[in-house]
Amino acid sequence: MKKLFSLITLMVFLVSCGGTKSYKIDGNIAIDGLKDGDTISLGYTKDGAEYTPEAYAVIKDGKFNFAGNTENCKFYFLVNHLTEEPLAIVFLEGGNISADINNEKSVISGTTSNDLFTQLQEEFSAKVMQLQEKQMLLYLDTTLTEEQREGIVKELETLSEEASNTAKEFINNNIETMPALFMLVQFANMFENEELNALIEKIPEENKDSENNCFFSTLLQIQEQRNNPQDFSDYFNALEENADSTAAAE
């Protein structure tokens, strides 16, 4: 059951570009706690942990704008600068990016990577809503018979499998993009070792840059652990020998 619902948590919250290209982000925002005069930052999480703001924009008439240049497609966040709360994921690449952020959801579009990722989110949303509804029914409806509960569990398994297949198909079809690299880190457990190794080999050089994300390095760690599982036999043998020695001394 834990595996079934990990997908729900994940979703409650992709084309490589070569050479330096200009980008522009035009945003509309209507978020509780944010008002005209407040600041939004655009930045990334260095090594996957420390957030590093790179540019700032002040909200005016419910709008904000960013402009600059980027060499490769990068994984960035739009963040409430005061609270450092992430507002949306942005794949920063050359082109005109639109950001529509409100209390219900955030839609980032206008460039290939952002359109791809937004489409994926929309495909997931219906499945995630169904998963949540079935999950709530399973846990809150005390009138369900055991047979009905078993039926709901089977429905959850089917929905979870469909959602996982959607993610897997997206990764396989778009592995040369940054959004697919991001998704592969989240769903690496769905792939056999040979499949994972083959996907990693297809990742282009420009998406291996770890300055503003740790996706590729994380995949290499997963690959290393799975291809060379650590042998703890010596450690446990030493514990047994120590226990035997202690027992003999007593």
Mean pLDDT, the chain, rounded, equals 83
pTM: 0.75
Give the residue-averaged pLDDT of 57-76.
94
pLDDT above 90: percentage of residues in the chain: 40
The pLDDT assigned to 139 comes to 87
20-41 average pLDDT score? 93
The pLDDT of residue 4 is 44
Query: pLDDT digit string (tens) for 193-242?
Result: 899 999 999 999 888 876 667 888 888 888 888 877 665 555 556 656 65
CA nearest to 78, candidates 65, 96, 95? 65
> Measuring CA to CA, which residue among 89, 86, 108, 85 is closest to residue 97?
108
User: Of 121 and 55, which is predicted with more confidence?
Assistant: 55
Could you tell me which residue, 107 or 5, shows the higher pLDDT? Answer: 107
The residue whose two tokens read 């706690």 is: 33
Q: How far apart, in Å, are the Cα atoms of 212 and each of 23, 54, 72, 199, 229?
A: 17, 11, 11, 21, 29
Q: What's the confidence (pLDDT) of residue 169?
A: 93
Q: How far is CA 69 from CA 19, 22, 87, 208, in A?
A: 10, 4, 22, 19
Taking 50 as the threshold, does the pLDDT of residue 83 lie above it? yes
Give the best-scoring range by mean pLDDT among 92-106, 118-132, 199-213. Answer: 92-106
Whether the CB-CB separation of 49 and 8 falls below 8 Å is answered with no
Catalogue the long-range contacts made by 226-231 (C-beta closer than 8 Å, 24 or more residues apart). 226/193, 226/196, 227/193, 227/197
| 160-207 pLDDT tens trace | 888 888 889 999 999 999 999 999 988 898 899 899 999 999 999 888
The band of 18, judged by pLDDT with boundaries at 50, 70 and 90, is very low
Residue 86 pLDDT more than 80? yes
Does the pLDDT of residue 12 top 60, yes or no? Answer: no
Q: 135 is written with which tokens?
A: 């999950």
Q: Which residue has the higher pLDDT, 128 or 246?
A: 128
pLDDT higher for 41 or 135? 41
* Backbone torsions φ then ψ of 71, nearest 5 degrees: -85, -40
- Span 86-91, mean pLDDT? 94
Name the nearest CA neighbour of 28 among 56, 67, 62.
62
